[in-house]
């Protein structure tokens, strides 16, 4: 069989690439091992009509105008401002930690003092990483600021990071902790900085199916590329699999954070009081998502059934998050050098780039890819 573009893995990036190539008039064959498209982002309606994100919850948020414009070609979206709560010492408080969290965690007198202190050092609406806040507290030698920085670090970041990554918050790339800053305002949203925060009006899989709806695109599901690659003559190969796997791990295996996404169904209308609750200190899971709460206007919202997802790190092999330590990045450089020598094989996305990308950065990555 002869084909111009062979894509291994119906991952989000490659679906978008296929859409762009097909629109240009080029033929594309996508070979996918699983029985569905779009890999870990796959969503579907269960028998009760509840929309489930099969592997883990995906929330679309971005500031990138071109990405936002692109996805709008394939789906309608409904406004969705994501909010998360933390369970700390039996108390549910808003994440990211903000002025509301302070008032819910301490006595009014202490909370007032802490708010005043923060506003002495930072402007209202600033976002500060916990690393920066701790450094500031130690530099300024301020008792209140140190108390607050230590409290947030100890109660929220320290154990969660060890639970999730297996390394300490001091060892991890500081960019990871910056994702959840301390917010000096009363904004309870999880992504306070992002201009566009939406969920697809129908479901993500539908949006990706629409991208694939072109006569130039063929998709083979339930097919391992290794079983058919010798029969295919291609001009270009687009590879989704981890870059180290492509090179048979010759420089060593790149490490990923592995997580079990455990779905549980309950015969009740509601399981928890918020769509996502984080558990920084207790239990073996880091967070619980209750899917139906993404769509409060859905006709199934009030039924006596609900499905949750528990995220339990280190159990199962969904290789989702690259662990960007110095050692791993050194191994990555070696693979990247070898990859540059290949004329007709291309790597994209998280596993190929070994980068902790959000969905919008993934899309940007492929929109910027020259075809
Ligand atoms: N984090 C934490 N406590 C929390 C939430 C996040 O310590 O309650 C830290 C943790 O190290 C995590 C990082 O902040 O890996 C980024 O969190 P985010 O929610 O962005 O992770 P993701 O949604 O990508 O799994």
**Torsional sign, CA 71, 73, 76, 81:** positive
Give the bridge partners for 233, in sequence order: 2
Question: Are residues 236 and 161 part of one domain?
Answer: no
Q: Are strands 196-200 and 77-79 parallel, antiparallel or unpaired?
A: antiparallel
* Pair (144, 218) in one structural domain: no
Q: Say yes or no: 158 and 219 in one domain.
A: no
What pLDDT score does 315 carry? 64
Q: Which domain holds residue 113?
A: 95-183
Query: What confidence score (pLDDT) does residue 318 get?
Result: 58
d(CA 128, CA 194): 16
pLDDT tens, the chain, 371 aa long: 899 999 988 888 889 999 999 999 999 999 999 998 887 889 999 999 999 998 888 999 999 999 999 999 999 999 899 999 999 999 999 999 999 999 999 999 999 999 999 999 999 999 999 999 999 999 999 999 999 999 999 999 999 999 988 889 988 888 889 999 999 999 999 998 788 998 998 899 999 999 999 999 999 999 998 899 899 999 999 987 778 888 999 999 988 877 888 999 999 999 999 999 999 998 999 999 999 999 999 999 999 999 999 999 876 555 667 887 788 889 999 999 999 898 898 887 666 677 778 889 889 988 998 88
Residue 219 counted as domain residue: yes
Query: Of the residues 157, 287, 319, which should be mutated to test ligand 1's pocket, given the most ligand atoms within 8 Å of the CB?
Result: 157
157 and 234: one domain?
no
pTM: 0.90
177 and 31 part of one domain? no
**Residues 6 or more apart from 195 whose CB is under 8 A from it?**
62, 63
Residue 75 lies in a domain: no
Confidence (pLDDT) at 354: 77
CA 182 – CA 157 distance, rounded (Å): 11
Q: Is 313 among the domain residues?
A: no
Residue nearest to atom 6 of ligand 1 (CA): 180
Protein residue with least CA distance to atom 19, ligand 1:
180
- Whether 74 is covered by a domain: the verdict is no
- Residues 247, 352 within the same domain: yes
Q: Which of 97, 164, 178, 362 to mutate to test the pocket of ligand 1 (most atoms within 8 A of CB)?
A: 164
């Amino acid at each position: 069989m002869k084909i111009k573009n062979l894509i291994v893995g119906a991952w989000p990036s490659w679906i978008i690439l296929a859409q762009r190539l097909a629109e240009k008039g080029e033929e594309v064959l996508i070979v996918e091992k699983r029985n569905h498209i779009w890999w870990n982002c796959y969503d579907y309606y269960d028998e009760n009509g509840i929309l489930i994100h099969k592997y883990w919850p995906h929330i679309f948020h971005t500031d990138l105008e071109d990405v936002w414009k692109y996805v709008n070609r394939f789906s309608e979206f409904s406004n969705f401002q994501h909010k998360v709560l933390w369970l700390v010492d039996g108390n549910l408080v808003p994440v990211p930690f903000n002025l509301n969290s302070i008032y819910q965690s301490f006595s009014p007198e202490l909370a007032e003092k802490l708010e005043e202190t923060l506003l002495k050092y930072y402007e209202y609406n600033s976002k500060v990483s916990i690393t920066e806040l701790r450094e500031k507290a130690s530099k300024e030698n301020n008792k209140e600021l140190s108390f607050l920085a230590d409290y947030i670090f100890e109660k929220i970041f320290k154990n969660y990071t060890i639970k999730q990554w297996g390394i300490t918050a001091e060892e991890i790339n500081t960019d990871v902790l910056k994702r959840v800053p301390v917010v000096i305002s009363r904004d309870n949203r999880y992504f306070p900085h992002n201009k566009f925060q939406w969920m697809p009006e129908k479901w993500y899989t539908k949006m990706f199916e629409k991208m694939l709806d072109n006569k130039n695109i063929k998709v083979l599901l339930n097919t391992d590329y290794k079983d058919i690659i010798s029969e295919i003559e291609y001009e270009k190969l687009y590879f989704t699999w981890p870059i180290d796997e492509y090179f048979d791990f010759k420089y060593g295996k790149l490490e990923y954070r592995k997580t079990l996404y455990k779905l549980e169904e309950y015969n009740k209308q509601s399981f928890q009081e918020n769509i996502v609750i984080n558990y920084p200190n207790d239990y073996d899971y880091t967070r619980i998502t209750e899917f139906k709460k993404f769509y409060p206007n859905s006709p199934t919202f009030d039924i006596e059934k609900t499905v949750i997802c528990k995220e339990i790190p280190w159990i199962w092999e969904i290789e989702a998050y690259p662990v960007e330590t110095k050692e791993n990045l050194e191994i990555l450089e070696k693979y990247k050098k070898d990859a540059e020598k290949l004329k007709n094989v291309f790597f994209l996305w998280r596993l190929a780039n070994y980068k902790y990308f959000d969905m919008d950065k993934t899309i940007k990555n492929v929109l910027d890819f020259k075809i």
